[in-house]
Amino acid sequence: MSIQRLIEKIRNNDVVLWAGSGLSFYAGMPKVSEIINEILEKCTEEEKNYIQGKTNLAEVANDFIAMRSGSRHELNTILFNLIDKDPSSLKYHKMLSEIPQINTIITTNYDKLFELAYERDIYPIISNSHIPYANSKRVDLYKVHGDIGVPDSILISSKDYTEFFNEEQNPIWTKIKSIVAEKTILFVGFSLADQNIDYLINNVIRSLGSNQKEFFLVSPNMPPFKVNELKSKKVEYINMTGEDFITQVHSEIKKK
């Protein structure tokens, strides 16, 4: 079974965890729809009519920034009010912190759940200046979309994502490419409703080319056509919630 093979890879320190927003929902962090609704609350009726019905946060963010003449201040305030709060739980992040074989984490989340769960045993890498201080004594946490405490670091609009992936000399992206070229990537916290997952996987695959190792995606109840699409990209699908998966891996790793 894929899951047993993946657990064996984790035991052998061969896995990089790539965490999406779905891994933060249990802790009370907002879903995309909640962020969009908060943005709409700050819009005029004319602006609402333009944005209403859009479900892609990157597009909505693009529009909202343009409506504010390029200023991100109001959008950053919305995100801060939604995300910078005490989590309702850290259960599954704490479990991950007890799996020492996963010592590199990449996340698209702005929240600080990993930092709260791992405490001093994790090193957040948010900007290029942090890269030289990454080391094997702590878990390296690459926050590729930025951190809620550092507003200038946040990537949220479609323009932001395009610039990040297309900037050939981006040191963080260059570092991540070198890491994932050597290890198996495990995507957790992404779903069919997550507009970034296809974009993300496609960009990682394109960047790695023939250097691609194995990819695994843990997500519940994906339809067959999507599973086949993932398979065509050499991504192995595991039909589980992230929470159930973490619980099983935690239990299996602790046995030995």
**Is residue 145 within 8 Å of residue 108, measured between CB atoms?**
yes
Return the C-alpha torsion angle 140, 107, 198, 164, nearest 10: -80
Describe the strand order of the beta sheet including 104-107 as a list of residue ranges: 122-125, 139-143, 104-107, 15-19, 184-188, 215-218, 235-238
Calculate what percentage of the chain has a pLDDT beyond 90: 67
Q: How confident is the model at residue 133 (pLDDT cuts 50, 70, 90)?
A: confident
Q: Cα–Cα distance between 18 and 43 in angstroms, integer?
A: 33
**Is residue 187 within 8 Å of residue 22, measured between CB atoms?**
no
Question: Would you give the end-to-end CA distance of the chain in angstroms?
Answer: 19
| Neighbouring C-beta atoms of residue 6, cutoff 10 Å | 21
pLDDT in tens, 4-51: 999 999 999 999 999 999 999 999 999 999 999 999 999 999 999 999
| pLDDT for 194 | 65
pLDDT in tens, 58-81: 999 999 999 999 999 999 999 999
| pLDDT for 234 | 85
Q: How confident is the model at residue 134 (pLDDT cuts 50, 70, 90)?
A: confident
Residue 22 token pair: 């779905």
Nearest Cα to 153, choosing from 137, 136, 170, 139? 170
pLDDT in tens, 206-251: 777 666 688 999 999 999 998 998 888 888 999 999 999 999 999 9
Ranking 115-124, 127-136, 150-159 by mean pLDDT, the lowest is 127-136
**Is residue 3 within 8 Å of residue 248, measured between CB atoms?**
yes
Q: Cα–Cα distance between 7 and 15 in angstroms, integer?
A: 9
Kindly state the average pLDDT of the residues 74-101.
97
Q: Cα–Cα distance between 17 and 38 in angstroms, integer?
A: 30
Phi, psi of 229 (to 5 degrees): -65, -40
pLDDT in tens, 49-62: 999 889 899 999 99
Q: What CATH number is given for 2-28+88-255 in this structure?
A: 3.40.50.1220
3-state secondary structure 16-48: EEEECHHHCHHHCCCCHHHHHHHHHHCCCHHHH
